[in-house]
Structure 1
C-alpha cells in the first residue's frame, strides 16, 4: 500500500498504487470549496448560465430546476430528514434531537408527500476557467433517497459511486461522454441510498481539434420521487472512514471529493 498523502490542503496526490480511478489534474483536486462565481467563468460558460438561469449550487457547479411534476404521491421515505452517514444509521432512523425540522421544509412541503418527479439542469465547469480563478470542476460526494436518471448534453467527466447500501461498500467509477464506442455513458442511473461524486475531465487534443468549447459536464437529472433537500445529505470525512472500513488508501483517493464542514 502506498503511504497516505492527503490531497486536501497540500495538493499532493500519490498515484503509484491501487488507484480506484485515475486522478484528475491538481487544479481539480484542490479547487476551492466555495460557491462558484459565474462572473469569473469564460464567456461561453456565462452564456449557458445566463440562457438557462442557472444558479450556484451547494453540491458544486450550477443548477436550475426545470420541472416539478404536480402529481403528489405518498412518500416512500422516512418522516425525518436525511443526515450525514456518520451521525445516524441510514437504515434504522435518526434522532430528532439535533435539528430543526422547519429548516428542511420548502414552502408548502409536506414530509408525508412527494412530487412524482423533478428535473434539473446541472453544470460543472473546468477548473481553469476564468483565467484560473473561475470554474467549479467537482461535485461533492452526496446521497439522495430518490432514484436519479442522468442524461448528458455536453462535455466529459468521471462519476464515482459509493454503494453505501452494500457491505463492504463497493466503489464504482465510470466516464460520461459522447464516445460511446469506448464505453463512455450518455445516460446513467444512480439508485437512492448511494453516494455519488463527479469531476470534469480535461479536454484532450482531439477534442480541441473538433472545436469543442470549455471543459464541462452539462447534464439533466430527473429524480423519482421528486427531489427535496429533506432527502439529501453530504458524506462527511467520518462517514467516508466508516464506509471504507478504515482503508487508508481508499480514503486517501476519495477524501478530496468530501465537502468540508463549514
Structure 2
C-alpha cells in the first residue's frame, strides 16, 4: 500500500473511532437519569392488585388500610387538618399543561359538587393533608408490583418523608422556561440519598422503584408519607399527557423518549 493511501486509511479509522466515542459520550451526557430495569418501564398501566403482592407487602397494605391509587401504587389519607383557610388557588379545576385554558368557559365555570368529595368548597382549603403512599417492586417472589408513579402536578406544596425502600424521583419544573428536569434518589443512605424532600406546586413529578443494592434484605418499594399544604384536592391535580410532555421538552425527541413511559396513558 502506498504511504499516502495508508495515511488516508489511518485518518479515516481515527476519525471514525473519534466520532463513535464522541457519539457515545453525547448519548451518555444526554441521559436525564439512569434508566430503571425494563420491567419497571413496561409495567402495565392498571390499578394495582394487593392480592398478588408479596405477603410482607400485603401486610403493610392491610395494616395501614391502603387502597389502589390512580397515580400508581397505594395510598391512604391519614390526616385532614380541620382548620379551613381561604383558597389561594383559582376557582376552576386544574387543567393539563397542553390545555391550560380553564374549562373553556373560564370565569363562567360552574362548580359541580357531585364531581368532588362531599363537603368540598372550591373557595376553601384545609390547611394541610397527610397520606401514606406506597409503590411496590416485584418483591422476592417476583409477583405483583406497582413500581411507578405517573407524572402529575399539584397546586399545593408537598413535603415527602421516606419510611422504607429506595427509588428515583423525576421532577419537571413546568413553571420554568425552558423546563428544567431534576432527578434524585431517595433511600436510607443519608450521605448520598434523600430521606425528606419538597416538591412545590406547579411542578410535575414522577417516581419509580429502584432495585435493591447488594446485601439489602427487604422488599423493593418506595414507602413514604406526603403532607400537602394547603390540603390536597383532586380539584388541584392533573396528569401530564403526551402532548404536554412534547411541549415541555420543546420537541426534543431524546428527552421525550426517556420520559414518555412515565406519562399516564389517556383513557
Q: CA deviation at 1:96?
A: 3.7
- Bigger fraction of residues in helix: 2
Matches within 5 A, 1:39-50: 39-50=51-62
Q: Which residue of 2 aligns with 1:195?
A: 204
Q: CA deviation at 1:193?
A: 0.2
Once the two structures are superposed, what CA deviation does each residue of 1:74-124 show, in whole Å capped at 9, x if it has no partner? 0000000001111115xxx44248997445421100000000000000000
> How far apart, CA to CA, are the structure 2 residues paired with 1:258 and 1:248?
15
> How far apart, CA to CA, are the structure 1 residues paired with 2:140 and 2:215?
23
**TM-score, reference length from structure 2:** 0.86
For residue 158 of structure 1, the aligned residue among 163, 168, 171 is 168
The answer to which of 45-54 and 80-89 deviates more is 80-89
Q: Determine if the alignment matches structure 1 residue 122 to structure 2 residue 120.
A: no
For residue 187 of structure 2, the aligned residue among 177, 192, 196 is 177
> How far apart, CA to CA, are the structure 2 residues paired with 1:106 and 1:61?
21
Q: CA deviation at 1:206?
A: 2.4
C-alpha RMSD of the superposition: 1.8
**TM-score, reference length from structure 1:** 0.87
Q: Which residue of 1 aligns with 2:226?
A: 221
Matches within 5 A, 1:70-81: 70-81=82-93
Q: Determine if the alignment matches structure 1 residue 113 to structure 2 residue 124.
A: yes
Structure 1: which 5+ residue stretches go unaligned?
1-14
C-alpha contact (below 8 Å) 1:81/1:104 kept by paired residues: no
Matches within 5 A, 1:82-93: 82-88=94-100, 93=102
Matches within 5 A, 1:139-150: 139-150=149-160
Judging changes above 3 Å, is the alpha-carbon distance between structure 1 residues 49 and 192 closer, same or farther for their aligned structure 2 residues?
same
Structure 2: which 5+ residue stretches go unaligned?
1-26
Tell me the matched-pair count: 239
Once the two structures are superposed, what CA deviation does each residue of 1:135-175 show, in whole Å capped at 9, x if it has no partner? 00000000000000000000000000000000000000000
C-alpha contact (below 8 Å) 1:81/1:101 kept by paired residues: no
Q: Determine if the alignment matches structure 1 residue 36 to structure 2 residue 48.
A: yes
**Greater relative contact order, per chain length (Cα 8 Å cut-off, separation 6+):** 1
C-alpha contact (below 8 Å) 2:153/2:205 kept by paired residues: yes
Q: Which has the larger radius of gyration?
A: 2
- Report the 3-state secondary structure (helix = DSSP H, G, I; strand = E; otherwise coil) of the residue aligned with 2:149: strand
Judging changes above 3 Å, is the alpha-carbon distance between structure 1 residues 131 and 206 closer, same or farther for their aligned structure 2 residues?
closer
